[in-house]
Structure 1
Amino acid sequence: MLDKAATRSQLAQIMALIKLMRPKQWIKNSFVLAPLVFSGEFLDVIAVRDAMFALLLFCVAASAAYIVNDIQDIERDRRHPGKSKTRPLAAGTVSVPAAVMLLGSLYALLVAGWFVAPKVVMVIAAYLALNLAYTFVLKHQPVVDIFSVAIGFVLRVYAGAMALNVPVSSWMFITTLCLALYLAAVKRRQELGHSGAEGRKVLEKYSVSLVDRYAEMSATGALLFYSMFVMSTKPELIITIPLVLFGLFRYWFVVEALDGGESPTDALVADWQLLLTVVLWVAACSWALWPIQA
C-alpha cells in the first residue's frame, strides 16, 4: 500500500515537472521548421534530421526560459486567479529546488547540443539571453515587451536556417516579426481584458484600443510582407496567400467573438477551422515547393 502511494506521488511529481516545462507551448517552436519548408529540402533525410534536432534544442531552451520566468514570477503568480492553479511553482506542486535542478539539466542538454550543432546553439544562446533580459527587465517596458516576444520567433526561424546552412529571405524575417507582433499584441489585449494589471504590471501602460491598433498594424504588415515575399521570391506560393488572409481573419474572430487569444497555442488547438487552415497552408506550401526531381 505504501509502495503504491509512493509510486503515485513520484508519478505526480514527474507530471508536475513536465508541466513546468510547458510542452503544450512547444508548438511555437514549429517556426524553426520554416526554412526547411521554404528551402524545398523537406525530402532530404539529412536536412529533416538537422531541422528536427534544431527544433528539439529550441524546445529545451524554451522550457528553460519558462522555468526561469516562473521562478522569478512565483509570488505574482500565486496572487493570480488562474496562474496560481495552473503554474506548478505557484500551485506548490513543484518546489523551487526541484525546478532549479531541472533547469540545470536542460542547460546541460543545450551544452551537449553545442558539440552537434554549434551554429544552432549560438542562436539559442541569443534567445536565452533575450529571455533573461525579458524576465528581469524588458517585460516591464511597454512596447519593448511585445517586440522582445516577437524577436524570439525571428530567432526560431534563424535557428532553422542555421541548422540547414541555408540563407533566409529578408522578407521571411520581417513577415515573421510582423506575425509575432500581431500574436503578442492580441495576447496583451486579452490579458488586459481578463485580468488587467493583475496579470502583468506592464499592462497598466496599455489600453485595449492601443493594442488593437498594434494588432491591426502588425496583421496588415504580415500579410503585405508575406505577399511581397511570395511574389518576389516564391511565386509558386501565390495559392497560399488566401489561406494566410483567412487565418488572420479567423484568429481575430476567435479573439473577438469567442474570447480566445490569451494563449495563441490554445486558440490554435481549440478552433478546428484555424487548425485546418494551418494544415492546408503547410500542405499547399509542400505541394508548391515539391522538388521536381523527386
Structure 2
Amino acid sequence: MADATDTVDAPAPSAKTTEAAQAAGTAKDAASPAGFRLGALPGGLLRNARPRQWVKNVLVLAAPGAAGALSDVDVLRQSGIVFLLFCAAASSIYFLNDALDVEADRAHPVKRNRPIAAGIVPLPVAYAVGALLALGSLAGALLLCNVGTAVVLASYLVVQVLYCTRLKHVLVADLAVVTSGFVLRSMIGGIAADIPLSQWFLITTGFGSLFMVGAKRYSELVLMGDQAAESRKLLAQYTTGYLRFVWQASASITVLAYCLWALGHQGEDPGLWRQLSIIPFVFGVLRYALFADRGTAGAPEDVVLKDRALLGTGLLWVIVYGVSVAGL
C-alpha cells in the first residue's frame, strides 16, 4: 500500500484523447487575446485612436468650403484647429466603444484584432485615455475657438456616449445617432468660423451621411450573415431589405437636394459652374452606391481612399465647385 507521499502512475492517455486536448487548446488560444506587452502599448494606443478614420473629420471644412471662405487665412487656421479637436473627440469615443464592446469584438473575424480586444491595451488604460482625449478636446474648443464650437463638440460627445452605452441597442435610433456624428462634423467648421449654415447644406449633408451609414450597416449585415448578432446584437434585428431601402432613399434625397441647390432657387442665379458641379456629385454618389450594393461599404474611409475613380470624381467636384465659388 502506498503512503501519502508516494505517487501513483496515471494511465497513459489514448491517441484520441490527446488529439482532442490539442484541438481544444488550439481553439482556446485562437479565441483568447494576445496579451499585454508594455512595448506594444504606444502602437496599440495609436491604432485604437484609428487615425485612418480621421479622414471623416475633413467634413469640418464642408461649411467654410461651401461658403467659399477657405481662401481666408483666419478661417483656414480655425478649421485646422477644429479638425484636430474633432480627431481627439472622435478617438475618445473609439476608446470607450472598444472598451465596452471588448467581448463582442473578440467574436468578430476582423474586430478581434483591435488593440483592446487583443489585450494590447488594458481596459483601465483605454478608459483613462478616452477620458483625457474628451476633456482635452472640450478645453481646446473653449480656449482656441468659441462657445458654439464647444457646445457642438460637447453635443457630439454626449450623443456618442449615449450611443455606446444605450442607443446602439435601439433600432433606427442607432442609425440616427451615427448620422448625427457626420452632420455635427459638417456644422462645426461653419460655427467656429461664424459662417451661416443654409438649409440646403444641412439637408444634403444630413441625408448624404445617412446614405453612408445605411450602406455601412447593410455591408456589415451582408458580411456577417447569420453571425451578425455575435458582433453587433442590433444588426441581427435589421433585414438587408430594410437597410437597402434606407441607403437608397437617402441617396435619392441627397442627389435631389444638391440638384435643387445647384440649380438655384427663389430667383437666384447659381452660375454655370455650380450647375456643372451636379455631374461629378451625382457620379460620386452612384459610384459609392455601387460598393454599397455589393456589400463592400463597411468601411467608408477605405472606399473613399482606395477607389481611384471615386477619388478622381471628388477632385473634379472640388475643382468645378472651386471655380464656381471663385466666380471665374
TM-score normalized by the length of structure 1 = 0.91
Q: 1:10 & 1:239 partners in 2: Cα distance?
A: 55
Aligned residue in 2 for 1:235:
270
Counterparts in 2 of 1:234 and 1:43: CA distance versus 1, 3 Å: farther
1:145 aligns with 2:177: no
CA contact under 8 A between 1:191 and 1:199: conserved in structure 2? Answer: no
Aligned residue in 2 for 1:207:
239
Aligned residue in 1 for 2:254:
222
Runs of 4+ in 1 over 6 A off after TM superposition: none
- What secondary structure, in the 3-state scheme, does the structure 1 residue paired with 2:71 have? coil
- Equivalent pairs counted in the alignment come to 282
Pairwise CA distance, 1:253: 1.6
Structure 2 counterpart of 1:256, which letter?
D
Aligned residues: percent identity?
34
Match runs of 1:1-294 below 5 Å: 12-85=40-113, 87-113=114-140, 114-117=142-145, 118-195=147-224, 196-230=228-262, 231-232=264-265, 235-236=270-271, 237-257=274-294, 259-290=295-326
Q: 2:173 & 2:132 partners in 1: Cα distance?
A: 30
Note the alpha carbon deviations across 1:57-93, whole angstroms, 9 max, x for none.
11111111111111111111112121001x1100111
Greater helix share, structure number: 1
Q: 1:111 & 1:42 partners in 2: Cα distance?
A: 24
Note the alpha carbon deviations across 1:108-158, whole angstroms, 9 max, x for none.
422431122132121000000110111111111111111111111111122
Note the alpha carbon deviations across 1:36-76, whole angstroms, 9 max, x for none.
11111111101100111111111111111111111111111
Counterparts in 2 of 1:287 and 1:240: CA distance versus 1, 3 Å: same
Note the alpha carbon deviations across 1:221-280, whole angstroms, 9 max, x for none.
0001111222236823111111111111111222334x4200111111121111111122
Which is higher, the Rg of structure 1 or of structure 2?
2
TM-score normalized by the length of structure 2 = 0.82
Structure 1 counterpart of 2:148, which letter?
K
CA contact under 8 A between 2:138 and 2:154: conserved in structure 1? Answer: no
CA contact under 8 A between 1:37 and 1:285: conserved in structure 2? Answer: no
- What secondary structure, in the 3-state scheme, does the structure 2 residue paired with 1:46 have? helix
Q: 1:119 & 1:251 partners in 2: Cα distance?
A: 33
Pairwise CA distance, 1:172: 0.7
